[in-house]
Structure 1
Amino acid sequence: MQASKNKQEQDFPYWLAAIIVIGLIFTIYIVTNELYTAIFNTLYKGALMTIFVTLVSFILASILGLVIAIAGFSKYRVIREIMRFYTEIMRGVPVLVLLFYIAFVAAPSLVDFANWILAYPIEEGLMKKILVRDFSLTWRAIFALMLGYSAYIAEIFRAGIQSVEDGQIEAAQSLGMKRWQVFCFIIFPQAIRTILPPLGNDFIAMVKDSALVSVLGVADITQLGKVYASGTFRFFETYNMVTFMYLVLTIGLSLMLRRLEKRLNTRYKQKA
């Protein structure tokens, strides 16, 4: 009985209780303080932009990463080499450099290429010439984050797929299952338990790295905070609020992912 009580005391998340108390105190201060209320009203639109950029980038990066991981197991060596080349290049370029490259090099080059392909209908007046400004900076940032994180996510999927025992795959194939059936019904349901924790970590990391899109002028939390602080010289209060908003996002996501991971583990144990 005493041992069970001691274990419960050890398992109690005091760190989470401390975070909740501090968060509640700061929230009350935001509501009651006019300055912090004004800062929050300025930054909340940036929070919506941060969530939008992160979600869209992560979904696209996950889809691309899964395709790269599956292609990496191709029976054709040339495809495997191309996927490995892409993964190593993208993992070797800092996200900030990738943002600048996509925004100011790749995007204009892509627009020039599109205008070259569509030269005839443009000259005949059937359509307007595409301008670089038609490719918004927000989508350039999303595209850069997608490319950068797809390489890391591809490695996560690859490790998860490889964690499934070969015997199960061979048994499924011996039953006449096609490759896509083996992947959907045998490999992926088991691999997801290995994939989910690092995938969740990458999602949280992307929330934080999304702050880098502010260098392109995208109106996220960081950019709006920078503009507000520069205009009012309230740097202390503004960046307190910026930090608080990012902590709410990252810690909230972390807790949700932990809960999801526990549910999956419980279901897996029940089935086993």
Structure 2
Amino acid sequence: MKPLFIALFSAFSLTACAQQTDAEAAQDPANAASAAAPAVAQIETTPGTPEDRARQAILSINPNLAIELIDEAPIPGFREVVVSGQAIYVSDDGKYLLQGNLFDVQQKRDLSQAGLSKVRRGLVEQVPASERIVFAPANPKHTVTVFTDVECGYCRRLHEEIADYNKRGIAIEYLAFPRMGLDSDDARLMVSVWCSADRRKALTDAKAGRNVPPRECDNPVATHYQLGQRIGLTGTPLILAQDGTQMPGYMPPDALLTMLDDLAARAAAAE
């Protein structure tokens, strides 16, 4: 039992390490911008219900964890709980906890993704259009949200092919995720991009290594960064379809189009 407990504890501790009190954050300049973002409201549950027992079970491990979703699990006798981009399964009596993907062997499908996609979609939909940097064709067939960094190689490669994505009917809507943290030169450059009069040009220049004049303004970079953490982002670029499905990292234009077409066909068949 010890190895399993350690694995679970480590996963939860990773989230816990990202949680600081206001006093701690105020003493830590590297997290000052992050601390300014609004706190995540905890889910409310009715005492005595399986949902409440699941919530109490998770919070008994770490009371600082922000729970995004509690719903009926695909397996009887369990609730599915989404915490920081992970799907956790808690028995209805609150005694047992399972961590990991739930795979349907007959359908050959990861059932964990349904709840995770629902959470991702809901979180991304909260981002106003005015905060996004959009590269889109006139009549897009598909729209994806991309958490991007100006320094990572695959983010730059994706942007070099932006015209090819657009030609295939794919609109790209960028959100900021400075992977080196909010107190990095990377983050300051992304603030300058989002504060530029022409954000599209500034982002293109930044990804190409060209100079972007330093600027400051009321900007969404810290909010986007925390949103990425809540979704469970571990690397950039993170590409999300409109239904919240997460793509497997960078994908060439033709491969991304094929996957988006497949998602749309499956959604239509399920209606």
Q: Same fold (TM over 0.5)?
A: no
Larger Rg: 1
More strand by proportion, 1 or 2? 2
- Structure having greater relative contact order (Cα 8 Å, sep ≥ 6): 1
Q: TM-score, normalised by structure 2?
A: 0.26
Q: TM-score, normalised by structure 1?
A: 0.25
